[in-house]
Amino acid sequence: MLRIHYADYEALRTHGEETYPNECCGVLLGKNIADEGNGAEAVNHVQQIVRAGNTRTDSAHNRYNIAPQELVKIQRQARGLGLDIVGFYHSHPDHPAQWSKTDFAEAHWLGCSYVITSVEQGKAALTNSFLLSGTTEEDKTFEDEPIQIDIAPNVAEAAAQTQKGQA
Amino acid sequence: MNIHIPTPLRAYTGGLETVSVAGTTVSSVFQQLTVQYPELKPHLFTPEGKLRSFVNVYLNDDDIRYLPNKEETAANDSDELTIIPSIAGGTSCRL
Ligand SMILES: [Zn+2]
């Protein structure tokens, strides 16, 4: 399961609207709460999101890539905050919020969450999360995972408004 | 020197984000790393012993693939090595 604050959830969706018609991408920092065999599923708990630049300027409308140099910096930043990289997000401009063959082939962070937002005509539509499970490149799979959005009491009302707008 | 391990590979370093390994070149550090944590090896290298294409390795702020001496670059104890798998994808339906 992916657990994320409402503000971060909205921010990653907004990022996709801002970069439309190109894909946006970013990194989810937080903590992985492992499945401890007590029946509770593993949780990637997001504490902060970091926007990244899409290096695929040649084909930014249907490809994304985060420069490894930028990832090194983000990983360093995470370490400084006592957090880990627990996932990534990107957008699908005018495509469903479903992983593509390319997304799967190029996903290598086992145990991390890959969040995809479909952006239709410039508006963020669906957001889905997929857990890259498995232990090796050979047996990896993307699993649908639920997203739990934490809403602080003071923004609950605003959230209700936005949700109405999206329906 | 310190080596920073990405989240998915910490399963093979006992959960550690940073491990310390001795060595005078990048390749000798890697050699020592896989001796200390043998389960890491197949995740970093192909069966032929080449670094997997999606695994990026940075010596401080430099990608070792672009260093003149690549894996044979000299390394000091004060240097930092970061292992970082790539992040990419796309909606491209024409795969
Ligand atoms: Zn995608």
Task: Supply the pTM of this predicted model.
Answer: 0.90
Render the burial of A11-30: b for 16+ CB within 10 Å, e for the rest: bbbebbeebbebbbbbbbbb
Cis peptide before A21 (omega within 30 of 0): yes
Residue B8 lies in a domain: yes
A112 to chain B: which residues are within 8 Å by CB? 7-8
Count Cβ atoms below 10 Å from residue A134 Cβ, excluding itself. 14
Predicted pLDDT of residue A167 = 47
Predicted pLDDT of residue B90 = 78
| Structural domain harbouring A53 | 2-166
Q: Looking at residue A114, which CATH number applies to its domain?
A: 3.40.140.10
Predicted pLDDT of residue A116 = 97
Share of chain B above pLDDT 70, in %: 96
Helix H or strand E segment including B89? strand B87-90
Domain count, chain B: 1
Tell me how close the Cα of A82 comes to any Cα of chain B, in angstroms: 10
Residue B93 lies in a domain: no
Q: Looking at residue B36, which CATH number applies to its domain?
A: 3.10.20.30
| Structural domain harbouring B15 | 2-85
Structure tokens at A85: 């990289």
Helix H or strand E segment including A126? strand A123-133
Q: Is A105 on the interface with B (CB under 8 A)?
A: yes
Residue B92 lies in a domain: no
CB contact under 8 A, B95 and A32: no
A88 to chain B: which residues are within 8 Å by CB? 87
CB contact under 8 A, B95 and A101: yes
Predicted pLDDT of residue A132 = 97
CB A135 within 8 A of CB A122: no
Mean pLDDT by 10 residues, chain A (167 residues): 96 97 95 73 93 85 89 95 96 95 95 97 98 94 96 66 57
Predicted pLDDT of residue A165 = 55
Q: Tally the C-alpha atoms within 13 A of residue B12's C-alpha that lie toward its C-beta.
A: 20
Which ipTM value was assigned to this complex?
0.91
Predicted pLDDT of residue A153 = 65
CB contact under 8 A, A108 and B86: yes
Tell me how close the Cα of B38 comes to any Cα of chain A, in angstroms: 15
